[in-house]
Amino acid sequence: MSNKISLTLPDGTKKEFDQGVTSLIVAQSIGAKLAQAAIAAKLNGHLIDIKAPLTADGAFEVITMKSSEAPEVFRHSLAHIMAEAVQKLFPDAQFGIGPTIENGFYYDFLLSRSLTPEDLEKIEKEMHQIISKKEEFSFQTLTKIEALEKFKSLSQPFKVELIEDLPEEKFSVYSQGPFVDLCRGPHLPNSGFVKHFKLLNVAGAYWRGDEKRPMLQRIYATAFNSKDELDSYLNMLEEAKKRDHRRLGKELDLFSLHDEVGPGLVFWHPKGARIRHTIESFWKEQHYRNGYELLNTPHIGRAWLWETSGHLDFYREGMYSPMKIDEFDYYIKPMNCPFHIMIYKNQLRSYRDLPLRWAELGTVYRYEKSGVLHGLLRVRGFTQDDAHIICTPEQIEDEILEVLRFSLKLWRAFGFEKIEAYLATKPEKAVGENDRWEQAIVSLKRAIEKEGLPCKLDEGGGAFYGPKIDLKIKDAIGREWQMTTIQFDFNEPERFDMTYIGVDGQKHRPYMVHRALLGSIERFFGVLIEHYGGAMPLWLAPVQVAVLPISDKHTDYAKTVEDKFRQLGVRTIIDDKGDKINQKIRNAQLMKIPFMVIIGEHEQNSGKITIRKRNGENITQVDFDAFYKEQEWIKQSI
């Protein structure tokens, strides 16, 4: 047995080393500057600690603070530094977990009291002191028994529970200064590599997500490799606060949530309902134009339906308890697809009937834990803009391309231009024939390529029942939102024995694709509010024009103008209260109404109107018809 290992460097160079050599020594063999900058390494695609012994051949790369993988390493290390600071300030703290997340990290703690904003400042200050000391991160490998003894002696029951539940027989334990943690790593060589971070807020989090377990305090933080990146992100967060759909929804009187009625259930107010009506009308019109038919299906179904579909096996925890009707169990629907399948099976289908494109704005109900509910973005009752495409194998590639094109056109119509695709392929455990999986993945890939979309591959990330495309959009302040899903399903056609009669006169299994473009009306509406900061484009605005008479003597003419707009289908209100005109203008601006029509003596005498836009621009003495014709009151077809 050889005592040597062979490492292939990024430039293709191969080097031999003794087994057990550390990544740091390998880095030193490449160059002193590289070794000095090294924070971790990558072997065969997996991040490893710079001090870890190497025992296998493979592709090797040194990770520095400039590497794309660096944030994972320094954010994870900062989570440990934060935990050390908390331990110093709260010696009796018990530690949960502290993973990295997008743009930052968090750590969960059980503490003797609730944290305050002042506590976060103290923790930050302590973290800077730890960083200034350049404390070394060191690790050791312990057996399961040794690891249990270690964390029992430290009075850390959450760590003990994790060790007991994990199947491993060996565990890596990291320490820096007095702090010790159970962790796979890797971590920075020492704490001095990081400087640019900010503790953001504290939230409650049940241990292991179980509402019956202790409630811990979760400190969220962000970190970047440069001050400019950190400042830019913090500025974005400030802008996000201004655009928070929950605040704007209340200020603009769009929707409300009432926990006393039921958490996660949305109440649409007149203005919000008006926007929703506009969205849904446009959605329906475009679906008809793109060859879809619209369905309406029940809200409940007998247990048989959900047993056949597999939801009671795979999704029971997300479904509400059954209700007993005529001695049968009925469930409120979490999905629309089984109902669409029942319509399909209502008659014998031929290849000549296919493809079928069936869409529904179907309201569904799913149980979400109270801790994850978030305004319109995470709710328990929502209307999914669902559709199912049922077709032959020969039709599938064209259908996928068309649904992707349709998705992109719809997003661009709503003002979203930055769109990226994520392609998720076959996982280890999957149903369906291999050739169907291969054809499905090829169809998804070709559609993405033909549309020229930037794409990231999620190898093995598909559902067990089929591959999918997820479309992620970027909003006005650069945040990414996962919205559209185009999902193959090889499971339900089998479970429901869906067939069609082919050219050969024999029964064949059709392809079925689930497709949600906007995702859900509620979540889309929340994203839309934040994207526009509540200032909806003209065609979506719940009130498009506010008619503002300067005084009571101008009210009659103002009502004539209001009625003229209404007859043309323009969403109009008149403010004929006794306020002064400046207050009326301010009120309209606060409601983010696109146009204010000012009616005074000049307008009344001339029969014209004065326009004030919500950005403050004034257009005086305008002919009514000319003004109306210039505006995009009705969204043009896409």
pLDDT in tens, 204-246: 999 998 888 999 999 999 999 999 999 999 999 999 999 999 9
* 610/622 Cα distance (integer angstroms): 6
CB distance 148 to 156 below 8 Å: no
Confidence of residue 634 (pLDDT cuts 50, 70, 90): low
Q: Residue 371: its pLDDT value, please? A: 79
Beta bridge partners of 488: 513
* 23/60 Cα distance (integer angstroms): 9
* 395/503 Cα distance (integer angstroms): 14
Q: What's the 3-state SS for 92-144?
A: CCEECCCCEECCEEEEEEECCCCCCHHHHHHHHHHHHHHHHCCCECEEEEEEH
Give residue 284's identity as a one-letter amino acid code: K
Q: What are phi and psi of 52, to 5 degrees?
A: -75, 140
Contacts of 161 (CB under 8 A, 6+ apart): none
Q: Residue 635: its pLDDT value, please? A: 63
Burial of 548: CB neighbours in 10 Å, binned 0-12, 13-18, 19+: buried
- The arithmetic mean of pLDDT across residues 469-481, rounded, is 94
Task: Summarize pLDDT for 14-68 with one digit per residue, the tens.
Answer: 999 999 999 999 999 999 999 999 999 999 999 999 998 999 999 999 999 999 9
Q: Is 108 left (phi over 0), alpha (psi -120 to 50) or beta?
A: beta
CB distance 57 to 3 below 8 Å: no
Vertex 500 angle, CA 497 and 506, to 5°: 100
| Residue with more model confidence, 520 or 638 | 520
Vertex 48 angle, CA 88 and 67, to 5°: 90
pLDDT of residue 636 exceeding 60 = no
Task: Summarize pLDDT for 333-379 with one digit per residue, the tens.
Answer: 999 999 999 999 999 999 999 999 999 999 999 999 887 899 999 99
Distances from the Cα of 359 to the Cα of 293, 423, 528, angstroms: 6, 23, 22
* 572/560 Cα distance (integer angstroms): 12
Closest by Cα among 210, 203, 114, 113 to 161: 210
Q: What is the mean pLDDT of the chain?
A: 94
CB distance 525 to 279 below 8 Å: yes
Task: Summarize pLDDT for 102-156 with one digit per residue, the tens.
Answer: 999 999 999 999 999 999 999 999 999 999 999 999 999 999 999 999 999 999 9
DSSP of 220-278: EEEEESSHHHHHHHHHHHHHHHHH-HHHHHHHTT-EEE-TTT-TT-EEE-HHHHHHHHH
CATH no., domain 70-242: 3.30.980.10
- Active-site annotation, residues: 337, 366, 384, 386, 388, 468, 514
Contacts of 346 (CB under 8 A, 6+ apart): none
Q: What percent of the chain has pLDDT over 90?
A: 87
Q: Residue 638: its pLDDT value, please? A: 45
Domain limits of the chain?
4-64, 70-242, 255-297+336-532, 298-332, 545-630
CB distance 15 to 68 below 8 Å: no
For the 255-297+336-532 domain, the top CATH level (class) is: alpha beta
- The arithmetic mean of pLDDT across residues 173-182, rounded, is 95
Confidence of residue 554 (pLDDT cuts 50, 70, 90): very high
pLDDT of residue 414 exceeding 90 = yes
Task: Summarize pLDDT for 574-622 with one digit per residue, the tens.
Answer: 999 988 999 999 999 999 999 999 999 999 999 889 999 998 888 888 8
- The arithmetic mean of pLDDT across residues 482-492, rounded, is 93
For the 4-64 domain, the top CATH level (class) is: alpha beta
Fold for 545-630, please state it: Rossmann fold (3.40.50)
Q: Residue 443: its pLDDT value, please? A: 92
Tokens of 143: 């057996």
pLDDT of residue 313 exceeding 90 = no
Q: Residue 597: its pLDDT value, please? A: 96
Q: Is 474 helix (H, G, I), strand (E, B) or coil?
A: strand
Identical fold, 255-297+336-532 and 545-630 = no
Contacts of 315 (CB under 8 A, 6+ apart): 334, 335
- The arithmetic mean of pLDDT across residues 305-313, rounded, is 92
Task: Summarize pLDDT for 270-304 with one digit per residue, the tens.
Answer: 999 999 999 999 999 999 999 999 999 999 999 99
CB distance 609 to 597 below 8 Å: yes
Q: Residue 637: its pLDDT value, please? A: 45
Q: Is the dihedral of CA 349, 352, 353, 356 positive or negative?
A: positive
Closest by Cα among 174, 64, 166, 82 to 126: 82
* 346/355 Cα distance (integer angstroms): 16
Q: What percent of the chain has pLDDT over 70?
A: 99
